[in-house]
Structure 1
């Protein structure tokens, strides 16, 4: 088994909610760049950020993120 990596459904959930990166960023209290880097797999969100994003999108952390290997 390889090292697990973080998979993300953030972009899909955000677009399904009809939000821009900037709108989601405002709801989650972060910058648009942070949303962009999380969506592109560059930045792994902290637990606090993952919870804030899930709350902003009305879903769970598990609904947004998953482990790949």
Structure 2
């Protein structure tokens, strides 16, 4: 465990339908910015990008990424 970098995260695997939905929401012009940001967060996590990297890319705190990741996996 000397090489562990933090709490392990559950893998986030997106179905094709989920991926298409997230892509549509991110591209829409008339969607709330918060929804677009959440969709982009989940989409990037689904691509296997670590939460810290997603947070840096989107300009949010890594706890925010973790929160949306957990909520998506829960539902």
Q: TM-score range by the shorter chain?
A: 0.3 to 0.5
More helix by share: 2
Normalised to the residue count of structure 1, the TM-score between the two structures is 0.41
More strand by share: 1
